[in-house]
Amino acid sequence: MPRKTQIRIQDIKQKITHCVLYILCYTFCVIFLPSWFMKKTGNPFITSGYEGPQYFCDRQKETSLLLSNIRNNINTTLFAIRRLGKTGLVRHVFEQLARNKKMTCIYVDILATSSLKEFTSQLATAIYKRFPEKKGIGQKFFDIIRLLRPVISYDPLTGNPELSLDLGQPKQYEKTIQQLFSFLDNQSIKVIIAIDEFQQILSYPEKNTEALLRTYMQPLKNTRFIFCGSNQKMMNEIFNSAKRPFYGSCSNIHLDLISAAEYSRFIQTQFNRHKRKINEESIDFILHFTQRHTYYTQVLCNQVFATDSRNISIETVHAACAAILAQNENTYYQYKNLLTEAQWTLLKAIAKEEKLKKPHALNFIRKHQLGTPSLIARGIESLLAKEMIYYEAGVPEPYYSVYDKFLMRWLQKTF
């Protein structure tokens, strides 16, 4: 080959190398660097979704239990009141399992469903999200549901895909559920399905839903379930009543409050990572104000962090608390219009007690001028149904408490 030609080829190779390096540098600077920088400098107190283990507080015991159950082919029931972090815990476990190529995880939220037909569509949508049509398993999935004329649409708010199926008679969607479970179980990988707000099945018009699902789930060999629920009474009915189909089928995990020591350490660490200081007094007040309830603790910490103050004082925290209550005041006054006078008075009384252990005690009734025990019993039942309060039964001394901790503090402050 002539020398000039060799030089020309070397020049071309050099130019190609430079172009490739330029493209790689550009991609890193324009795409990856900003997202890394945003994560590094953004607010570390996440109030919705799951952003990774560095933003997740504790739950080491529960994480280990869930992972152990999955490894040992045990289905799990996860009990927790709303916004205590059960969905975040499931996402955290899924994140750790993502590295295992022999497993796949599917999350299904059925809170918005009102029938077995809607349950079927939600399950199919969750499978579609996990296995898009273009992939091998996804193609097999579409082959199974093709006769149901699937229609893919996108949520206008989130942009997430949704799958609608042409389900007619009950027998058809019952059969479809069985086919979906069998399809997953026949794959060459282990499938973990988390079904959130599982107690919702009790509201379905199809009264045989529990027995039907148990019948379809029981024979599965490569598929394991995590049943999550926020209504402890209903979840106990499903899983802990000897007369029900799911009785004795799961290992139970009750999600409690994160310890003050662990949460304090987490808060301090997040501020330290961003070269900011927060004193122990401020952290103690945050945990007292929110009663260590995960969602409200995260929201308050998020607000405090958003002040951009380099040294967080107790005054900074007090101001953030006042701002949150002021932002929600109109909503809280609207609650009053949704309740009877007796229910509103009872709600205020429970808020002031913080943890009401004996609602029919004479000193409690006289202190808050609540009327007869029967009136209180009806009021508690109504407030529970409206989810204004909850009953914590998973402790040595069960108690009633206001669900929204900011509402509780506002009622204490205002009345």
- The pair phi, psi for residue 245, each rounded to 5°, is -60, -35
What is the bridge-based pairing of β-strands 251-254 and 76-79? parallel
- Could you give the 3-state DSSP secondary structure of residue 112? coil
Pure H helices in 186-279 = 209-217, 232-240, 260-273
| pLDDT at residue 20 tops 50 | no
- Tens digits of residue pLDDT in 318-329: 999 999 999 999
Q: Which residue intervals of the chain bear CATH 1.10.10.10?
A: 339-415
| Amino acid symbol at 207 | K
Q: How confident is the model at residue 8 (pLDDT cuts 50, 70, 90)?
A: low
CATH number of 258-333: 1.10.8
Say what the pTM is. Answer: 0.85
- The pair phi, psi for residue 78, each rounded to 5°, is -115, 110
Separation between Cα atoms, residue 133 and residue 166, nearest integer Å: 18
Instruction: Tokens for 119, please give them.
Output: 């349950």
Q: Which residues sit opposite 21 in a β-bridge?
A: none
Q: What is residue 81's predicted lDDT score, i.e. its pLDDT?
A: 94
- What percent of the chain has a predicted confidence (pLDDT) above 90? 74
Please report, for residues 111, 141, 199, 399, the alpha-carbon distance to residue 402 in angstroms, rounded to integers and kept in the order given: 21, 45, 21, 10
| Amino acid symbol at 182 | S
Q: What is residue 34's predicted lDDT score, i.e. its pLDDT?
A: 38
At 194, which helix (H) or strand (E)? strand 190-196
Rg (CA), the chain: 26
Q: Which residue intervals of the chain bear CATH 3.40.50.300?
A: 59-254
Q: How confident is the model at residue 394 (pLDDT cuts 50, 70, 90)?
A: confident
- Tens digits of residue pLDDT in 132-149: 655 667 667 766 666 556
The class (CATH top level) of 59-254 is: alpha beta
What's the whole-number mean pLDDT along residues 18-25?
46
Q: Which residue intervals of the chain bear CATH 1.10.8?
A: 258-333
Q: Give Cβ neighbours of residue 119 (< 8 Å, ≥ 6 apart).
A: 110, 113, 177, 201, 204, 209
CA-based nearest residue to 116, from 183, 160, 184, 176: 176
What's the whole-number mean pLDDT along residues 49-56?
96
Separation between Cα atoms, residue 106 and residue 225, nearest integer Å: 10
| pLDDT at residue 360 tops 90 | yes
CA angle 90, 93, 97 (to 5 degrees): 135
Query: Is CATH 1.10.1740.10 the classification given to domain 339-415?
Result: no
DSSP of 287-300, one letter per residue?
HHHHTT-HHHHHHH
